[in-house]
A and B are shown apart, each in its own frame.
Chain A
Amino acid sequence: MTEVSEVMVDVRGVHKSFGPLDVLRGVDLQVRTGQVTVVLGPSGSGKSTLLRTINHLEKVDRGWISVDGELIGYRRSGKTLHELKEKDVLKQRTHIGFVFQDFNLFPHLTVLENLVEAPVAALRRPRAEAERTAHRLLDRVGLADKAAAYPRQLSGGQQQRVAIARALALEPKVLLFDEPTSALDPELVGEVLDVIKDLAGTGTTMIVVTHEIGFAREVADTVVFMDAGVVVEQGPPAAVLDTPRHERTRAFLAKVL
Chain B
Amino acid sequence: MRLITGPAAPPGAAAETPPAPADPATLKVVPARHPARWAAAVAVAVLLAQFGHGLATNPVWEWGVFADYVLSETIVHAVWVTLQLTAYATVLGFLLGTVLAFMRLSRSPLLSTAAWTYIWVFRSIPMIVQLVFWFNLSALYERLGLGVPFGPVLWSVDSDSLIGTIGAAVIGLSLHQAAYAAEIVRGGVVSVDQGQSEAAAALGLPRLRQIRRIVLPQAMRAILPTAGNEIIGLLKGTSVVYVMAIGELFYQVQVVYGRNGRVIPLLLVATAWYVVLTSVLSVVQYYVERHFARGADRTPPPTPLQRLRRAVRSLRAAAARREEPVVPLSLLGEKR
Q: Which residues on A are within 8 Å of B, measured CB to CB? A: 55, 57, 86-87, 90-94, 96, 98, 100, 102, 104-110, 117-118, 121-122, 150-153, 166-167, 170
7 A-B pairs besides A106-B218, A118-B204, A122-B205 with CB distance below 8 A are A57-B198, A57-B201, A90-B205, A96-B202, A98-B202, A108-B292, A117-B205
Chain A residue numbers with a CB within 8 Å of B195 are 100, 102, 104
Please indicate the chain B residues that have their CB under 8 angstroms from the CB of A93 in the complex.
201-204
Say whether A91 contacts B202, CB under 8 Å: no
B237 on the A face (CB < 8 A): no
B210 to chain A, nearest CB (A): 9
Docked Cα-Cα span, A93 to B202, in Å, equals: 6
Indicate if B296 sits at the interface (CB-CB under 8 A): yes
A170–B205 alpha-carbon span in the complex (Å): 11
Q: List 21 A-B contacts (CB under 8 A).
A: A55-B202, A87-B206, A90-B201, A90-B207, A91-B204, A93-B201, A93-B203, A98-B202, A98-B203, A100-B199, A102-B195, A104-B195, A107-B296, A108-B217, A108-B218, A109-B295, A118-B204, A121-B205, A121-B213, A122-B203, A153-B298
**Bound CA span A8–B295, Å:** 38
Contact of A152 among B199, B201, B217, B297 (CB under 8 A): B297
B50 CB-CB contact with A under 8 Å: no
Which residues of the other chain, A, contact B217 by a CB distance below 8 angstroms?
Answer: 108
Q: Find chain A residues with CB under 8 A from B218 CB.
A: 106-108
Q: Are B296 and A104 in contact (CB under 8 A)?
A: no
Give the distance to chain B from A86, nearest Cβ to Cβ, in Å.
6
Whole-angstrom distance between the alpha carbons of A150 and B200 in the complex?
A: 17
When the two chains form the complex, which single residue of B196, B206, B292 contacts A121, counting CB atoms closer than 8 Å? Answer: B206
Given contacts A151-B295, A152-B298, contact A104 B198 (CB under 8 A): yes
Is B209 in the interface zone, CB < 8 Å from A?
yes
Interface string of B285-315 (1 = CB under 8 A from A): 0000000101111100000000000000000
Leading 3 A-B pairs by shortest Cβ distance: A150-B295, A104-B199, A94-B204
* A170–B203 CB distance below 8 A: yes
Contacts of B207 in A (CB 8 A): 86-87, 90
Which interface class (under 10, 10 to 19, 20 to 34, 35 or more) fits B?
Answer: 20 to 34
* A57 CB to nearest chain B CB (Å): 6
Q: How far, in Å, is A171 (CB) from chain B's closest CB?
A: 12
Q: State whether the Cβ of B214 lies closer than 8 Å to any Cβ in chain A.
A: yes
- What is the minimal beta-carbon distance from A90 to any residue of chain B, in angstroms? 4
State whether B204 touches A106 (Cβ < 8 A).
no
Question: With the chains together, A121 CA to B213 CA distance in Å?
Answer: 10
- A98–B199 alpha-carbon span in the complex (Å): 8
Q: Could you tell me if A108 and B206 are in contact, using CB atoms closer than 8 angstroms? A: no
Q: Which residues of the other chain, A, contact B294 by a CB distance below 8 angstroms?
A: 108, 150
Return chain A residues, CB-CB under 8 Å to B203.
Answer: 93-94, 98, 117-118, 122, 166-167, 170
Q: Which residues of A contact B214 (CB under 8 A)?
A: 106
Query: Could you tell me the distance between the alpha carbons of A45 and B195 in the complex, rounded to whole angstroms?
Result: 21
- The residue in chain B whose Cβ has the minimal distance to the Cβ of A122 is B204
**Cβ–Cβ < 8 Å partners of B199 in chain A:** 98, 100, 104-106
List, in ascending order, chain A residues with CB within 8 A of B296's CB: 107-108, 152
Residue of A nearest to B297 (CB): A152
Contact indicator B196/A106 (Cβ below 8 Å):
yes
- A90 touches which one: B206, B213, B295, B298 (CB < 8 A)? B206
> CA A166 – CA B200 in complex, angstroms?
11
Which residue of the partner chain B has the closest CB to A96?
A: B202
The CA-CA distance from A47 to B71 in the complex, in Å, is 71
Question: B165 → chain A, closest Cβ, in Å?
Answer: 42
Contacts of A167 in B (CB 8 A): 203
Inter-chain CA distance A66–B204, complex, in Å, is 17
**In the complex, what residues of A have CB within 8 A of residue B196's CB?**
104, 106
CA distance A151 to B200 in the complex (A): 16
| Residues of B contacting A92 in the complex (Cβ-Cβ under 8 angstroms) | 204
Assess the B298–A121 pair: CB atoms within 8 A: no
> Residues of B contacting A151 with CB < 8 Å?
295
Q: Which residues of A contact B298 (CB under 8 A)?
A: 152-153
Chain B residues closer than 8 Å to A170, beta-carbon distance? 203-204
Q: How far is the CA of A92 from the CA of B207 in the complex (A)?
A: 14
A107 touches B295 (CB 8 A): yes
Question: Mask for B204-233, Cβ within 8 A of A = 1, else 0?
Answer: 111101000110011000000000000000
Residues of B contacting A153 with CB < 8 Å?
Answer: 298
Scoring A86, A92, A93, A108 by chain B CB atoms within 10 A of each residue's CB, the highest score goes to: A108
Name the B residues within 8 Å of A105 (CB-CB): 199
Query: Please, which residues of chain A bring their CB within 8 A of the CB of B213?
Result: 117, 121
